[in-house]
Amino acid sequence: GAVVSQHPSRVICKSGTSVKIECRSLDFQATTMFWYRQFPKQSLMLMATSNEGSKATYEQGVEKDKFLINHASLTLSTLTVTSAHPEDSSFYICSAFMGDRGSRGYTFGSGTRLTVV
């Protein structure tokens, strides 16, 4: 149980286009989801916190107009990289909070490798 499905796993896009990444909780309702970014040989850095039905909270240094986050339902959060550039090439991964941080923690999607050419 407690599976988060993330799609696509890999995407290559042209510079200037937009890319949408989806993160779905398959067997539970995720009131809060998190989006992380990982550059090569670096650790995961939190980009933003997505709350169902409200605006996302972005970490310092993350452009909210460039990385659009939508959490319209309890099972789906999307991250759209707008006007992508080569420097946006990275590994993006989502995480869902399972509503009981004391015992269940969080579950992560399998990640999306974005390459902007």
Provide the b/e sequence for 53-79 (b: ≥16 CB within 10 Å). eeebebeeebeeeebbbebeeebbbbb
Binding mask 77-96 for other proteins (x = CB under 8 A): --------------x-x-x-
Nearer to other proteins, 78 or 95 (CB): 95
Nearer to other proteins, 32 or 77 (CB): 32
CB 37 within 8 A of CB 47: yes
Measured CA to CA, the distance from residue 3 to residue 53 in angstroms comes to 21
Q: How far apart are CA 3 and CA 86, in angstroms?
A: 31
34 scored as a contact of other proteins (CB under 8 A):
yes
35, 58, 67, 97: which one contacts other proteins (CB under 8 A)?
A: 97
Provide the binding-site residues for other proteins, judged by CB under 8 A: 6, 32, 34, 36, 42-46, 49, 91, 93, 95, 97, 101-103, 105-111, 113
